[in-house]
Amino acid sequence: MVEVPKKKITFKGLKNSFRLYRYIKPFRVEYAWGMFFLLGSSLASLAFPKLLGELVSSGNPE
């Protein structure tokens, strides 16, 4: 596996981040809804295997 050198945080990188924020600013509500549903989707995909495991375990009385 190739080691990738870590980049340092620079003023130029922060400036680019703020440029992205200026673009997103008019779409704050849509962005917030998207993040909310993305979080919900991630939680549902993590919960499904756990719930399925409990369902299988409840059917096997040991």
Give the global pTM.
0.57
Residue 52 phi/psi, 5-degree rounding, is: -65, -40
pLDDT in tens, the chain (62 residues): 789 888 888 998 888 888 888 888 899 999 999 999 999 999 999 999 988 888 888 887 66
Which tokens sit at 9?
A: 């945080």
Residue ranges per structural domain of the chain: 21-59
Residue 48 phi/psi, 5-degree rounding, is: -60, -50
Q: Rounded to whole angstroms, how far apart are CA atoms 42 and 36?
A: 10
Q: Rounded to whole angstroms, how far apart are CA atoms 46 and 40?
A: 10
Residue 10 phi/psi, 5-degree rounding, is: -120, 170
Helix (H) or strand (E) holding 8: none
